[in-house]
């Protein structure tokens, strides 16, 4: 029987987007059926396989994205979203495979489910990109997202604090405004995609917050102060308002958590 860690490592080793999406969905189905052995001997790769043809740049070297309703601006927007969702597949898979052995089945199941959601999001966005005459890999993308995963690879609490509770939570703040701009431009289909992603991301952030708090309780750490300490140490950016306080609260992130470090 294939172990859960082996199945995750295999999905992480795929650079072709369609193959990774297919493998992630198959992994999620196998997990739900109980077809994967609970074994974490297989080590996770240092970083996931590269996407063929995708140029990765440092964030500071990324071209400025145009605003407005032109097709070029729309392609740039949807390509950046495709990249975020594609990397999110790897982030969720690596979370489950790297830290599953020290956590529990709920943790592994939650992040495998997150990976399957992110694969679905990527598929929706890639379809949208192709309707605009582009595809994932047709534009450069920044390599900052995986950097956060690399720097927290040794500590599950740090990974939970930075990835779902900072990076994904930022999506809760910015997605509603993007959705409204699309509606103003007459792109109701694109707005529906963003609404679906927003609804799912609330659950994803909630999973991260829940497991972070449980981990803190087991270790005797106060969740709020420990989160602030980890974010100050590992997160290179800054938490900038405005915040979507209602969505964050629904995801288990009350304002007391992040107001002090914003």
User: Taking the CA of residue 221 as centre, how many other CA atoms within 13 Å lie in the half-sphere pointing to its CB?
Assistant: 16
Instruction: Give the pLDDT band (50/70/90) at residue 68.
Output: low
CB 179 within 8 A of CB 194: yes
Residue 60 has pLDDT above 90, yes or no: no
pLDDT in tens, 195-207: 999 999 999 999 9
Q: Which of 9-18, 51-60, 80-89, 170-179 shows the lowest mean pLDDT across its residues?
A: 51-60
pLDDT higher than 90, residue 13 = yes
pLDDT band at 131 (very low <50, low <70, confident <90, very high): very high
- pLDDT, one tens digit per residue, over 140-154 is 998 888 888 999 999
Give CA–CA dist 31/33, Å, rounded. Answer: 5
**Cα dist from 95 to 7, 156, 199, 245, whole Å:** 13, 8, 21, 26
Distances (CA, A) of 148 to 19, 38, 52, 158: 25, 27, 22, 10
- Going by pLDDT thresholds of 50, 70 and 90, the confidence category of residue 218 is very high
- 254 sits in the region (left: phi over 0; alpha: psi -120 to 50; else beta) called beta
Per residue in 219-251, pLDDT (tens digit) is 999 999 999 999 999 998 888 899 999 999 999
Identify the pLDDT of residue 187: 96
Please check whether residue 73 is in contact with residue 83, taking contact to mean a CB–CB distance below 8 angstroms.
no
According to the model, what pLDDT value does residue 61 have? Answer: 67
Query: What does the alpha-carbon distance between residue 194 and residue 182 come to, in Å, rounded to a whole number?
Result: 9
Mean pLDDT of 1-19: 98
For residue 69, name the pLDDT band (cuts at 50, 70, 90).
Answer: low
Q: Give pLDDT, residue 191.
A: 98
Q: What is the mean pLDDT of the chain?
A: 94
**What DSSP string runs through 38-61?**
S---SPPPSSPPPPTTPPEE-GGG
How sure is the predictor about 135, in pLDDT bands with cuts at 50, 70 and 90? very high
Q: How far apart are CA 3 and CA 140, in angstroms?
A: 35
Weakest mean pLDDT among 27-36, 63-72, 174-183, 210-219: 63-72
């Amino acid at each position: 029987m294939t172990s859960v860690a082996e199945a995750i490592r295999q999905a992480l080793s795929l650079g072709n987007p369609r193959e990774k999406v297919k493998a992630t969905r198959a992994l999620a189905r196998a997990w739900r059926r109980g077809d994967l052995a609970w074994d974490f001997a297989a080590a996770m790769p240092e970083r996931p396989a590269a996407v063929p043809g995708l140029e990765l740049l440092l964030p500071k070297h990324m071209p400025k994205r145009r605003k407005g309703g032109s097709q070029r601006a729309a392609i740039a927007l949807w390509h950046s979203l495709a990249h975020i969702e594609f990397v999110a597949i790897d982030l969720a898979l690596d979370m489950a495979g790297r830290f599953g052995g020290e956590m529990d089945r709920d943790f592994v199941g939650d992040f495998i489910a997150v990976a399957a959601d992110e694969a679905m999001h990527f598929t929706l966005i890639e379809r949208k990109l192709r309707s605009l005459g582009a595809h994932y890999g047709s534009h450069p993308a920044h390599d900052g997202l995986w950097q956060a995963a690399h720097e927290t690879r040794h500590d599950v609490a740090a990974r939970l604090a930075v990835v779902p509770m900072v990076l994904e939570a930022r999506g809760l703040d910015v997605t509603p405004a993007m959705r409204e701009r699309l509606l103003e431009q007459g792109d109701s289909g694109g707005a529906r995609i963003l609404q679906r992603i927003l609804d799912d991301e609330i659950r994803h952030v909630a999973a991260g917050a829940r497991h972070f708090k449980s981990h803190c309780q087991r270790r005797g750490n106060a969740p709020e102060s420990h989160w602030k300490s980890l974010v100050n140490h590992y997160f290179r950016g800054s938490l900038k308002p405005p915040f979507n306080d209602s969505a964050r609260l629904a995801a288990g992130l009350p304002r007391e958590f992040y107001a002090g470090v914003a």
